[in-house]
Structure 1
């Protein structure tokens, strides 16, 4: 399973007459429709249409349903293997009931190795070569629960899409576990999912 691929709903934002009308009402003064005026109307209408659609589309319609996960007792070597195997930078950590209890990412691994936020993979390689030893050994005996960020920031599958956008912007996270009414993990949504979504294809 991977959090990079899923069956997603196909749709796009179509700017309606109402969107144009609402945009024109929000612009002060008389409109003599020049190209500059139309561009302004279009930009405001776009925002109106996008806001309307993101409020009507639920997370479950765009989320990735097949999610790569680990449990709290998963050894770090297995965590690393999964991240590498699926070419992802992070994933949820779940308990025995399938509820997310944390999120683990490459940044968490680097942080526990004593790295600051600027350290990259190649920086780790360089340090290992310079010191004739590997920084990774500092965390070799740890498990997911020792490294994960907790509590996880989750979102309901029935929440409108604009709430996910708001969380990405305010919490500075790259992925959000999606939960059902009983709190179990049912999917995940990433910044990339939103940016790649057909939602952002605008038709006039």
Structure 2
């Protein structure tokens, strides 16, 4: 029986971004860490939002054209963030990830704080391992 939980695949080392960070500095971090987005958290680790590459496109396009001021992450981050919990089933998370316009990286929340990330590649790896063990039996 497949009973893998998010806690089994969580990535506890992850990039997080401050809401006060200037947008191009945040983009530099995303590019440096080779991730398509990161949770925006406060000093206590509470999730405030999520900044994705897609969130950055419109303000950069507008600001590049008009050259009007500096943009902070808090102004462009998504505030409706889909998250998961340590005890969530990996199968349930995989089902959520299958939908085209849902995130492929989920902040993992424990007691109101972001403690890690669950990424599609980790879910895929765990499901593949489980599948292989079924075929070997």
Length-normalised TM-score, structure 1: 0.58
The number of residues matched between the two structures is 132
Higher strand share: 2
RMSD: 2.4
Match in the other structure for 1:130: none
- The structure with the largest alpha-carbon Rg is 1
Task: Specify the alignment match of 1:89 in structure 2.
Answer: 36
| 1:191 to partner: Cα distance | 1.4
Contact 1:70 1:79 (8 Å CA) reproduced: yes
Q: Identify if the C-alpha distance between structure 1 residues 64 and 135 changes in structure 2 by more than 3 Å, giving closer, same or farther.
A: farther
Normalising by the residue count of structure 2, what TM-score does the alignment of the two structures yield? 0.83
Distance between the aligned counterparts of 1:187 and 1:73, measured in 2?
21
Aligned runs of 1:46-195 on 2, under 5 Å?
Answer: 52-53=1-2, 56-114=3-61, 134-135=64-65, 137=67, 141-170=70-99, 172-180=102-110, 182-195=111-124
**200 and 94 in structure 1: CA distance in 2 versus 1, 3 angstrom threshold:** farther
CA contact (8 A) 1:101 1:151 kept: no
Q: Which ranges in structure 2 are unaligned for 5 or more consecutive residues? A: none
* Post-superposition offset of 1:88: 1.1
